[in-house]
Amino acid sequence: MIKAELLSIGDELLIGQVVNTNVSTIGKLLCTIGIDTHRVTTVGDNKKDLLRAIKRAWKESDVVIATGGLGPTHDDISKKIVADFFGKKLVRHEPTLRQVRARFRKFGYATMPVANIGQADIPQGFTPLRNDQGTAPGLWYKQGKKVFIILPGVPHEMSWLMDKWVIPKLRKQYKDKASGVILHKVLHTSGVGESSLAEMIGDPQKFLGPGATLAYLPRIGGVRLRITVKSNTQAAAKKILLGVEKYIRAQAKQHIYGDDDVTLEETVVDLLLKKKQSVATAESCTAGMFAARLTNVPGATGVFPGGIVSYANEIKEKELNVPAKILKHYGAVSEETAILMAEHIRRKFGSTIGISITGIAGPTGGTKTKPVGTVWVALAQKGKKTKTQLLHNVGDRAMIRERSVEFALEFLRRALIEG
């Protein structure tokens, strides 16, 4: 098994200014070519710490992928330190310089800031990886069976370089090595807690084949089950994986809504398409978040005409026909209002289903009877009684809104399955 270590470089990661998404992007890609990420180390823009981290990673791993600190400004120190560690000089790489200059011209700059010339300086013996998304090339260095890679930290540049150069090169580099296979499968569940699900499924030692593991990953709205199998061949790994999956599905059946990278919104759009249904949205506290989630899925075009964000009460009145006396008597956050919103948007937008969300996301606006986190969701279907659900969401404003959307998606999924 080829072992990789990721090095994330940058003070912004340590002081919490930036969430490190690069690690998950790279980890996922390495899995697809059977490389095992065994550790991630994050250090600041600090010569001593970075040098130690490089030394340790290079010693203990086959592949090191470092990200960050390749930019044109003074705080970008990674390239110099990597060059020093390997005892290499920086030399100007003319094709890279031409490419960087061309990039500035393309974006309409008459001159290129001088600092960018340095982007074309490459440690001797390193291969530059052309970066079509920015000015800093990635760098690739092979020594015996080991590879050291350094990429810019800007997520879309890093991710482009991984796809375009790093993954194909790694695949080639290790192709004749009998490197095992790692397969993952994730089953998504909803409507059941972690420990109850574990009771339902039972002792993993009784059903996990050789090299297989099972992990429980709780999140807002559900628990994901991850099956991992490491084996020598693809066929062997697949067989073990299928056995475990079959067993788990038989135990937790009604709670599993999808697998792998399928998102809840993809499942919902899929069901809408299959059942020839469509949905329109009337959102208050979530203000477009439900519509935005649904349209993450390109296929939403066929099942989602649109929606109304009725943030102010006058919009609920004027655009969604919620009578002023209902708003006054029951309030904007009430079952009555939610029902009228869902039913009206369905008729107005000509969809088969209407969904509404109205609640108090906070931090202010809560009362004794309707504290922050109180949310009503309603689902209207032609010829059926409108379904409603009252939520008492916990967390901050962002979490209350996210949980509301998550629930509404699940509410819609259940309605679609049932009928």
- Report 280-299 residues binding a copy of itself (CB under 8 A): 281, 283, 285-292, 294-296, 298
Give the nearer residue to a copy of itself in terms of CB position, either 60 or 384. Answer: 60
Contacts of 63 (CB under 8 A, 6+ apart): 2, 3, 4, 5, 30, 35, 146, 147, 149, 170
Query: Is 40 among the residues that bind a copy of itself (CB under 8 A)?
Result: yes
Q: How far is the CB of 18 from a copy of itself (least distance, A)?
A: 7
Q: Beta 146-151 vs 63-67: how paired, if at all?
A: parallel
CB closer to a copy of itself, 23 vs 125: 23
Residue 379 CB, nearest approach to a copy of itself (Å): 18
Are 225 and 257 a contacting pair, CB within 8 Å? no
- Cβ distance to a copy of itself smaller for residue 53 or 339: 53
Pairing of strands 127-129, 138-143: antiparallel
Decide: is 77 part of the binding site for a copy of itself (CB under 8 A). Answer: no
How many chain residues bind a copy of itself (CB under 8 A)? 111
> CB–CB of 182/212 below 8 Å?
no
Cβ atoms within 10 Å of 349's Cβ, excluding its own: 18
Contact 187, 249 (CB under 8 A): yes
Instruction: Identify which of residues 233 and 296 has a Cβ nearer to a copy of itself in the complex.
Output: 296
> Among 223, 64, 26, which Cα is nearest to 140's?
64
Query: In the window 88-127, what residues touch a copy of itself (CB under 8 A)?
Result: 109, 112-116
**319 part of the interface to a copy of itself, by CB under 8 A:** yes
Residue bearing tokens 């299928």 = 242
Residue 341 burial (C-beta neighbours within 10 Å; 0-12, 13-18, 19+) = buried
Which residue stretch of 65-73, 232-240, 330-338, 407-415 sits at the interface with a copy of itself (rule: CB under 8 A)?
Answer: 65-73
Decide if residue 362 touches a copy of itself (CB under 8 A): yes
Using the rule CB under 8 A, which residue among 70, 149, 308, 333 binds a copy of itself?
308
Q: Which of 15, 144, 176, 369 binds a copy of itself (CB under 8 A)?
A: 15
Half-sphere exposure of 114 (CA within 13 A, CB side): 1
Q: Which one, of 229, 359, 356, 213, lies nearest residue 285 by Cα?
A: 359
* Using rule CB under 8 A, residue 207 touches a copy of itself: no
- Residue nearer to a copy of itself on the CB measure, 19 or 419: 19
**Under rule CB under 8 A, residue 163 binds a copy of itself:** no
Q: Is the peptide bond before 323 cis (omega within 30 degrees of 0)?
A: no
Q: Which is nearer to a copy of itself, 124 or 314 (CB)?
A: 314
Which range of residues in 164-172, 241-249, 336-344, 389-397 is near a copy of itself by CB under 8 A? 389-397
SS3 233: coil
Q: Which of 126, 174, 257, 304 binds a copy of itself (CB under 8 A)?
A: 304
SS3 label, residue 370: coil
When binding is defined by CB under 8 A, the residue of 33, 45, 211, 322 that contacts a copy of itself is: 45
Shortest distance (Å) from residue 72 CB to a copy of itself: 4
Instruction: Answer yes or no whether residue 247 interacts with a copy of itself by CB under 8 A.
Output: no
Residues 6 or more apart whose CB falls under 8 angstroms from that of 122 comprise 90, 91, 92, 93, 96, 128, 137, 139
Decide: is 186 part of the binding site for a copy of itself (CB under 8 A). Answer: yes
Asked if 215 is part of the footprint of a copy of itself (rule: CB under 8 A), the reply reads yes
Under a CB-based contact definition with an 8 Å cutoff, are residues 151 and 134 in contact?
no
Q: Rounded to the nearest whole angstrom, what is the least distance from the CB of residue 107 to a copy of itself in the complex?
A: 8
Asked if 337 touches a copy of itself (CB under 8 A), the answer is: no
Given a contact cutoff of 8 angstroms between Cβ atoms, the answer to whether 211 and 242 are in contact is no
Between 142 and 397, whose beta carbon lies closer to a copy of itself?
A: 397
- Return the residues of window 129-148 that contact a copy of itself according to CB under 8 A: 133, 135
